[in-house]
Amino acid sequence: MKFDRSAAADLWRNTLSQIPTTFGRLIYLASLRDQNTGIYRHHGLEQLFGSDETDQTLRQSHGQTFSDWLCFNLEQQKTDLEDYLEELHEDKKTILATWIRLTPYRNFVPSNAREVERNLFMTDLETVLELLRYDYAVASPDQDA
């Protein structure tokens, strides 16, 4: 059996496989994208594979993870998001209220996502957040704030 030494295999083996939810992987990969340049950075991968290959690998992984999450039905998305929230060990009501108010999830979309994919993600996630808002009795955001 040949051992895969590619950047993508290294990323999966050493990092992404340790993140139990698709949504968690999506957030992690989005966090590696520089908000000013759009370039993905990961110190360990850059040491092994260089910055260009690292950027390309992380960009592709982000896109694939985004597509994987979009392929889930709403029930699967809700379960995956609940599992992600469970891993945070923080107050879910606070997280949900903050997400509904500040919409940080807009930054989780890969920059090369098509408009239809971006819209589907936003619609699905906002639907799931609304369902969770009721499940966890999160108050509606203050429209005057």
Q: What is the DSSP code string of 122-134? A: HHHHHHHHHHHHH
Distance (Å, whole) CA 42 – CA 34: 11
Three-state DSSP class for residue 33: strand
Distance, CA of 22 to CA of 113 (rounded, Å): 17
Give the count of alpha carbons within 13 A of 128, CB side only: 24
Residues in the chain: 145
Domain parsing of the chain, residue ranges: 7-135
Question: What is the residue whose two structure tokens read 């890969």?
Answer: 110
Note down pLDDT in tens along the chain; length 145 residues: 555 678 988 899 889 999 999 999 999 999 999 999 999 999 999 999 999 999 999 999 999 999 999 999 999 999 999 999 999 989 999 999 999 999 999 999 999 999 999 999 999 999 999 999 999 888 776 544 4
As a whole number of angstroms, the distance between CA 132 and CA 31 comes to 24
